[in-house]
Amino acid sequence: FYAGKSINPVSQGAAPHSTFNILASHSLLDPCSSGAGTVLSVPKDEPECSSNISSMVKEGHGSGNEDHKSFNQFDVVQDYSDHHYAKTSPGKTTKDWAKTIQNEWKLLQRDLPESIYVRVYEDRIDLIRAAIVGPAGTPYHDGLFFFDVCFPPEYPRCPPKVYYHSGGLRLNPNLYESGKVCLSLLNTWWGSGCEKWSKSNSTMLQVLISIQGLVLNDKPYFNEPGYKNTVNTPVGEKHSMAYNQTAFVLSCKTMLYSLRNPPKHFETLVVHHFHERERAILDACSAYASGIIVGSSVRDGAKYACDKCFAGFKKSLDAHTELLAKELAKNRAQAPELKGDTPAADEIASTSLGQT
């Protein structure tokens, strides 16, 4: 958890695979929480009157015709058929509701960090799909995590609904196999004051950055209920390291799931991202199987104190590394035009692990 550090969530200068740090008033993240006392202050634009929200956005981002060399962070697309909330009726909405969503689109279009990607839908402005790159220095590094969002008719009086594409895996205390995202900011966990959704101050951008920085953190074990009392204790840290091992294996499984079943409109991102990060991912698997602590920098050489600490983990990781290598090779074959436009494999590997 990134206590004591902060970022400006509207900054444009973040590196593509950097870890985003968010100011919190507590030393650890409560379970299923957006971060107690955490407020990401993102200014809201005054909404502009427009009869066609999507045309405003398309002027700056086109209509979603990406190739493998370029994937816009924000874009408007058409087909929402595989969206989790596709069959959920928008219900009775108002002009003010549409203006609020227009404001959200503009904020996302302007201020998304470089490692978060969003698609909105021209014919269903109540729906959003987002991809979040797992932060470096965590068991989620180099992974892609997908979320479907729905703005209810009451928005912004109540928070958006968010569904996580889990693939049936529970790799984080806040992200359920069912797709539930447990966050105070989404009112899916207890909280008070600035921990909860505010119709005046909270935004979709804040939700996405909170998921990346506060949920996908370096010690997710301490997100679990009741475990915060063991932070910085020998027992707590031992359990945390074991949890990170499991989380990394499940993150590898999630990579396999994404490579085999990329969400609609994100196929290009999946191909490009995993082509670029292939060597980094496989080098990480090799390093962790040799005893390097999950999330640590290979250059630091931090290893487990005894073989028993990672023997079972190594066996599981080796099996998934073999599967992952095969899928990444298939992915590489889908992106031949990228070979001359991405960094050399050894260059990628040298900058991949545990970089903060």
pLDDT digit string, tens, across residues 117-127 = 999 999 999 99
Model confidence pTM above 0.85: no
CA separation for the pair 286, 152 (Å, rounded) = 45
**Concatenated DSSP letters for 295-314?**
TS-TTTT-B-SSGGGTHHHH
Residue closest to 41 by CA, chosen among 167, 262, 205: 205
**Residue 300 confidence class, pLDDT cut points 50, 70, 90:** low
Q: What would the pLDDT profile of 270-284 be if each residue is shown by its tens digit?
A: 999 999 999 999 999
Beta bridge pairs of residue 302: none
Could you tell me which residue, 46 or 21, shows the higher pLDDT? 46
Could you tell me which residue, 302 or 128, shows the higher pLDDT? 128
Domain residue extents for the chain? 74-338
Identify the helix (H) or strand (E) that includes residue 329. Answer: helix 311-333
CA separation for the pair 269, 241 (Å, rounded) = 31
Could you tell me which residue, 134 or 299, shows the higher pLDDT? 134
Beginning with the edge strand found earlier in the chain, give each strand of the sheet holding 74-77 in spatial order: 74-77, 116-121, 124-133, 144-150, 161-164
How distant, in Å, are the alpha carbons of 24, 110, 151, 215, 273 from that of 210?
11, 18, 18, 7, 22
Looking at domain 74-338, its CATH architecture is Roll (3.10)
Note if the bond before 156 is cis, omega within 30 degrees: yes
Question: What confidence score (pLDDT) does residue 298 get?
Answer: 57
Residue closest to 160 by CA, chosen among 193, 135, 185, 192: 185
Beta bridge pairs of residue 175: 172, 181
Catalytic residues, by residue number, are 182
- Mean pLDDT lowest for which of 40-44, 210-214, 309-313? 40-44
Q: Is a pLDDT exceeding 70 seen at residue 50?
A: no
Counting other chains too, the contacts that 77-82 makes at CB distance below 8 Å and 24 or more residues apart are 77/119, 77/120, 77/121, 77/122, 77/265, 78/121, 78/122, 78/123, 79/264, 79/265, 80/121, 80/123, 80/124, 80/127, 81/264, 82/263, 82/264
CA 42 from centroid of its chain's CA atoms: 19
- 18-33 exposure pattern, b = at least 16 Cβ within 10 A, e = fewer: bbbbbbbeeebbbbbb
Looking at the chain, the whole-number percentage of residues with pLDDT higher than 90 is 64
**Residue 86 confidence class, pLDDT cut points 50, 70, 90:** very high
Question: What confidence score (pLDDT) does residue 312 get?
Answer: 86
